[in-house]
Structure 1
Amino acid sequence: MDITMPQLGETVTSATITRWLKAVGEHVSADEPLYEVTTDKVDTEVPSPIAGVITEILVTEGSTVPVGERVAVVTEDAAATGASKSAASPKASAQSAVGDELSVQAPTPVKGLVTSPVVRRLITQRGLEASEIVGTGEGGRITRHDVEAASPAPKKAVTEPKPRMERGDEVIALSNVRRITAEHTTRSKATSAHVYTSVEVDFEQVERTRRAHGAEFREQEGFSLTYLPFIARAVADALHEFPIVNSSLDAEQMVVHHALHLSIAVDLDFAGLVAPVVRDADGKRLTQLAREIRDLGSRARAKRLKPDELVGGTFT
């Protein structure tokens, strides 16, 4: 069976394979992690859809492949035991060849079809019009490569000097998440207004509640009740009272979001920082918020988040 790059999210059109977790000849179980990938949203593991033996690895580590492209071949357990007993008939082989030929035919290029926010932002940065770009992605979608081909990024006039290295210094390669975070932070500093404010809050009542119900909560849920769910609940209540704060700017207009999706920052140490989203947080009780925040944090550290769980936040 061909193993293809799955659709990791609505906005994801390609992914980079960073590490194979299995080698040719090894057995893999269904839903067992097969390889690790990185996208512009998240690092995650991709499980095998079937159980069997890996007979081919078609993509090397570090390669970026589009959604739907073959990356490996796994011989299913049932097929592996019966493969030596019978060969495919000429008729079946011919039908398979025709099917393969039809399946690899490229879709007719379409102009102007954009689905990814990342691609839309790149088109704006390059000063292009989506209607003039031919999309080569699935269904005619415009990909990052299409935009770059239409207008290559200008070369930097000045190259910044590399940091001076001394004996004993350690070089740590940036993860994809950390690199993209740095790029977005720099862009945000240049394009967004930054206002800072601080307010002193009395948490005495929150602390009393934690002490009074902490043991019971831990016994029922299996983890400790921290301050974060209380803060998330307070933010949800505040945004419900002042909905204009739950807004964003889109070109020349303000968009006030009626739904409240809270992005919760999760520190991944040297791997970077991600902000998975608790959806419809304003309609959830404290216990449910605590469960979801813990679940998202645990899966973020285990590289089990889906890219769609990192988009759509309205307040961080």
Structure 2
Amino acid sequence: MATEITVPQLGESVTEGTIAEWLKQPGDAVAVDEPIVSLETDKVAVEVPSPVAGVIEELRAEVGDTVEVGAVLATVSEGGAPAAKGDEANRDQGAGEPGGGKKGAEPAKAKDADSGQAAYGNHDEGTGEGNQTLSPAVRRAVLEYGVDPSSIKGTGKDGRLTKEDVIAAAQSKEGGNKGDSASPAPSPSSTPATVSSGERREERVKMTRMRQTIAKRLKGAQDNAALLTTFNDVDMSAVMEARGKYKDLFAKKHDIKLGFMGFFAKAACLALKDVPAANAYIEGDEIVYHDYVDISVAVSAPNGLVVPVIRDADKKGFAQIEKDIADFGARAKDGTLTMEDMKGGTFTISNGGVFGSLMSTPIINPPQSAVLGLHRIEDRPVAIDGKVEIRPMMYIALSYDHRLIDGREAVTALKIMKEAIEDPTRMLIDL
């Protein structure tokens, strides 16, 4: 008996998604609730599980296809025995020959050739596990860094490779070669194909649905809002001293590290309370104000930037804010964030400093009217009481919609945040 697996409800107002990656191929065994395919929507990647245990019988869509809610993705033969490895190999080898296999059973690499997604699944993995399908981002990293994906242990969901795994493996390989000039040359089977001198290559990869949505929203923000950015710099000495003094006690009590984002989130809550326009948005000819603060935190995910929301940040303590951020970061990497995680948000904080950014002009996250940009901390000479001292300084930027927020309000909001970070006691006594 064959069971159809269909596209589930993907969230409010979301009616379709794009096939990003098949996690199972025809002939593969699947357990109840085991994911078989990853779908990309406008905001998140959603894994679709099998409702029954059995064997994948047929795939009804290709990587890159757009599928609507309710459409049939695949069929599962309930209770069927998984194919033996030898049988799998024979099936794959004969897929291109007359009678060599049923529709949908061709090798993964050939199947994905036109979609821009390569699958390294028809050879034995270093772990001895089954097929390993690489996402476009991972595939590009494999080609760029020239590493063998079968030799890398994946840290993603269900042991799948992430782009970060490939980069770490390449750096480890590079460091090992520098430290041991006598190390043996890699075997021919694991050596990437070399490009002859002077040859130039191009690769055309279709934009993911998430990247297309990011592009439209950011361009829409520029087209529709009167964007302006104001800057300030912050002496991080007090926050760094507080972290150094209490980080061990904080971690012991709350089981989470005390980071910088908790301080900036609470500082932003103070500023938004005094400058409510920065926590509002324009809808038609009306201004919608909020008496709560839901902070969208920009998080880097394998498929692009996502902005999960810390709900009621103004009512939460440092520990809960840090736990929320850590949870978002882990789930963004695993691809398990949901539509609900990113719904709403009244103000955004983006931390480019983790990537080394010194200064930037962030773009607002519509329909929000303001975004705070954080940057790297570096020692700089500053004048303190008439004397030059070296202090850990950070540039901060507030981009805002000038249709709603006046320059005086924007500067005031940023100044409140600066004062709160330089004197954290203000956050305790609500100044």
> TM-score w.r.t. structure 2 length?
0.49
**Equivalent residue runs for 1:64-143 within 5 Å:** 64-77=66-79, 80=80
Amino acid of the residue matched to residue 304 of structure 1? T
Quote the offset at 1:265 in angstroms.
0.5
- Residue in 1 that maps onto 2:34: 32
Match of 2:10 among 8, 11, 26: 8
Q: Contact 1:240–1:282 (CA<8 Å) still a contact in 2? A: no
In structure 1, what is the Cα distance between the partners aligned to 2:199 and 2:328?
40
- Residue in 1 that maps onto 2:209: 176
Q: How many residues align?
A: 229
Structure 1 SS opposite 2:234: coil
Quote the offset at 1:170 in angstroms.
4.5
Alignment CA distance shift 1:66-1:259 (3 Å): farther
Q: Contact 2:18–2:66 (CA<8 Å) still a contact in 1? A: yes
Which structure shows the bigger proportion of residues in strand conformation?
2
Amino acid of the residue matched to residue 234 of structure 1? A
- Residue in 2 that maps onto 1:226: 259
Alignment CA distance shift 1:274-1:76 (3 Å): same
Alignment CA distance shift 1:238-1:303 (3 Å): same
In structure 2, what is the Cα distance between the partners aligned to 1:52 and 1:258?
51
Q: Contact 1:26–1:54 (CA<8 Å) still a contact in 2? A: yes
Structure 1 SS opposite 2:229: coil
Is 1:303 aligned to 2:305, yes or no? no
- Residue in 1 that maps onto 2:238: 205
Structure 1 SS opposite 2:291: coil
Structure 2 SS opposite 1:198: strand
Amino acid of the residue matched to residue 339 of structure 2? P
Amino acid of the residue matched to residue 242 of structure 2? T
Match of 1:247 among 275, 280, 289: 280
In structure 1, what is the Cα distance between the partners aligned to 2:244 and 2:283?
44
In structure 2, what is the Cα distance between the partners aligned to 1:76 and 1:258?
53
Residue-by-residue CA offset, 1:236-280 (whole Å, 9 max, x unaligned):
2322333332101111111112332111101236x3211111122
Q: Contact 2:301–2:335 (CA<8 Å) still a contact in 1? A: no
Amino acid of the residue matched to residue 223 of structure 2? A
**Equivalent residue runs for 1:146-161 within 5 Å:** none
Match of 1:294 among 326, 339, 361: 326
Structure 1 SS opposite 2:281: strand
Alignment CA distance shift 1:259-1:4 (3 Å): farther
Residue-by-residue CA offset, 1:103-133 (whole Å, 9 max, x unaligned):
xxxxxxxxxxxxxxxxxxxxxxxxxxxxxxx
Quote the offset at 1:286 in angstroms.
0.7
Is 1:274 aligned to 2:276, yes or no? no
RMSD of the alignment, in Å? 2.3
- Residue in 1 that maps onto 2:49: 47
Amino acid of the residue matched to residue 64 of structure 2? G
Gaps of 5+ in 2: 82-197, 349-431
Amino acid of the residue matched to residue 326 of structure 2? R
Amino acid of the residue matched to residue 288 of structure 1? Q
In structure 1, what is the Cα distance between the partners aligned to 2:248 and 2:78?
48
In structure 1, what is the Cα distance between the partners aligned to 2:202 and 2:247?
43
Q: Contact 2:18–2:209 (CA<8 Å) still a contact in 1? A: no
Is 1:192 aligned to 2:225, yes or no? yes
- Residue in 2 that maps onto 1:85: none
Gaps of 5+ in 1: 82-165
- Residue in 2 that maps onto 1:59: 61
Structure 1 runs (4+) greater than 6 angstroms displaced? none
Structure 1 SS opposite 2:266: helix
In structure 1, what is the Cα distance between the partners aligned to 2:77 and 2:15?
27
Match of 2:294 among 261, 274, 277: 261
- Residue in 1 that maps onto 2:123: none
Quote the offset at 1:70 in angstroms.
1.9
> TM-score w.r.t. structure 1 length?
0.66
Q: Percent identity?
A: 38
